[in-house]
Structure 1
Amino acid sequence: MPREDISFQTADNVTLRGWFYKLSGDNSVLPCLVMAHGFSSLKEMDLNTFAEYFTSHLPLSCFVYDNRGFGDSDTKEGQPRHEIIRTQQTSDYSDAITYAQSRSDVNPDKIGVWGSSYSGGHVLWAGAVDRRVKVVLSQVPCVDGWSNFHRLIRPDFVAGLNRLFQEDRLARAAGKPPGSLPVVDEDPHKPSALPTPDSYQFFTGWGKNSNWKNNVTVKTIEAFREYHPSAHIQHISPTPLLMTVAENDVLTPTDLALEAYSRALEPKQLHLLPGGHFDAYSGPNFERNANKQAQFLREHLCA
């Protein structure tokens, strides 16, 4: 599937880079699906597979980009790489929509957003507050950072993390480099952002086959705890919402996603996938997952 290397500017003048997909030789003005990855992940970590599937099965273009400070994208001058601040990433989604609207081969009135895991929460937020969004696809989403944080972190580790957050703030205020933590660690008793066995397996596998780096700033973890992306989920309506939830998700827990979905208003669809968090991306679940998402896009964005 042919793709075009692109870049665009955010509202605070950061250059983000990605790929634009559409069928070769198709000069039509098409709907566009804006896609970004989850916590620390890069666009080549299976987002290309989804974009290729959608553009080969639908009259649709896909715009995939790396989040700021990750992969091929820049970060703001003076700010660290590998820092995830939700207000910046959700704002960047809106700037990506603006870029898509500026293209002559995109129908500016037919733009959807797709996100997975952490960005699955971002698209819930963007779909509620940015009325240019015409369809929302939220896959295995983080919906409640506070609850999610306390599911992932053992209670006896929380006090130590709170001390780490304070020490990092004081150090940064004194002009020292920001502290960092690994995203994953083989030993779940050691500090990491995503202390689940399936997270370790997924990310270390990609670490051998991509430019993914195993670190995020300490501030990233503190910012994750305060994030509540489903707070406005009821305001997505009347924009159509498809939420894809894994039945045995321990990273972004299944029950939290289902509770958030219950608060969304119509029109909405729920797709339950067998397996855990990362089974949505590849393997036997991929065709089932991508086909359902393509059907939803055909009905609500490509009609």
Structure 2
Amino acid sequence: MGREDIEFKTSDRVTLRGWFYSSDSASGKAPCLVMSHGFTALKEMDLDAFAEHFVSKLPIHVLVYDNRGFGDSDVAEGEPRYEIIPMVQCSDMSDAITYAVSRPEVDPGRIGIWGSSYSGGHVLYVGAVDRRVTAVLSQVPCVSGWDNFSRLVRPDFAVGFNATFAADRVARAEGKEPGYVPVVDADPMKPSALPTPDSYEFFTKWESKSSWKNTVTVKTIELFRAYEPQQLIDKIAPTPLLMTVARGDVLTPADLALGAYARAKEPKQLQLLPCGHFEAYAGTYFERNAGTQAEFLKKWLVEGG
């Protein structure tokens, strides 16, 4: 197994950076899985463990990258870092596919996409509209920004966010710097993007051992609420879909994900894990989770179903 530092340009000429993992068991042109992380998360935050698992078990390559404005990736000139525009991240995922298929060791007819949490929603959209994709893996996904926001944010806090959104729009129109809010906060009474105890535990752990920053633009939260990645889930078929759902998920609630999964068409597969959102990444449930995903990849990406 080898890991190479890579970079590629998006369609609007922004440089994204990541890693390309090569499998020792791959020969000739082999399948490739494109992976990106969730809300503000970086490639170092457990994606390397998944990539290493997949290339050690299967004759596939894996491309992992940081989203624009985060980690090692750049941002468009004049645009702020730490801002997420969901449809731009979806477009960047398709650009990552374009880079992957340009590599001589990759079979352009066998491309999988893997996303978790926020990007678990992105892959539902990209899997429907980018027909180069031949397998979709969606882990603990955000499927509805509106419903997810309503679950996470108390109604009285939502009123405050609405005022903040409006003020930020005026300030940015006047040429002022964008407003920012913390991604997580130890105090649940203070505004943050992800106001759950397990989010705070997960991200602060990584803050001390990576370049992750506890900040995101106000506009990011407004766009999150408006994002509905489930809207085309029934259009993914006949591309196979694996959705991994954590029954105890309080960040991207399981019932919302299951409702979206019910609308997806065959071929599809559901993996239910008896854990919370972040437990799907590491620890007790990692081998079970990654093992099921590897079997799905073997069936649909390596053997072609």
Partner of 1:275: 275
2-side partners of 1:292 and 1:9: how far apart? 32
Partner of 2:135: 135
2-side partners of 1:278 and 1:185: how far apart? 17
Give 4+ residue runs of structure 1 displaced > 2 Å after superposition.
Answer: 23-28
How far did residue 29 of structure 1 move?
1.4
**1:166-194 deviation line (CA, Å, top 9, x unaligned):** 10000001111000000000011101000
Sequence identity, in percent? 67
Partner of 1:14: 14
Partner of 1:166: 166
1-side partners of 2:60 and 2:25: how far apart? 13
Partner of 2:152: 152
2-side partners of 1:186 and 1:49: how far apart? 27
2-side partners of 1:60 and 1:25: how far apart? 8
1-side partners of 2:72 and 2:282: how far apart? 23
Partner of 1:231: 231
Residues matched between the structures, number:
303
Amino acid at match of 1:296: F
2-side partners of 1:294 and 1:20: how far apart? 18
Q: Secondary structure of 2:6's partner?
A: strand
Partner of 1:39: 39
2-side partners of 1:271 and 1:26: how far apart? 27
Tell me, which stretches of 5 or more residues in structure 1 are unaligned? none
What is the TM-score of this pair, normalised by structure 1?
0.99
Q: Say whether the 8 Å CA contact 2:137–2:241 is kept in structure 1.
A: yes
Partner of 2:197: 197
Q: Say whether the 8 Å CA contact 2:90–2:125 is kept in structure 1.
A: yes
Tell me, which stretches of 5 or more residues in structure 2 are unaligned? none
Partner of 1:111: 111
What is the TM-score of this pair, normalised by structure 2?
0.98
1:222-301 map, 5 Å: 222-301=222-301
1-side partners of 2:31 and 2:118: how far apart? 24
**1:73-100 deviation line (CA, Å, top 9, x unaligned):** 0000000000000010000000000001
How far did residue 281 of structure 1 move?
0.2
Q: Say whether the 8 Å CA contact 2:36–2:64 is kept in structure 1.
A: yes
2-side partners of 1:108 and 1:130: how far apart? 13
Q: Secondary structure of 2:296's partner?
A: helix
How far did residue 25 of structure 1 move?
8.5
**1:133-174 deviation line (CA, Å, top 9, x unaligned):** 000000000000000000000011111100000100000011
RMSD: 0.9
Amino acid at match of 1:220: T
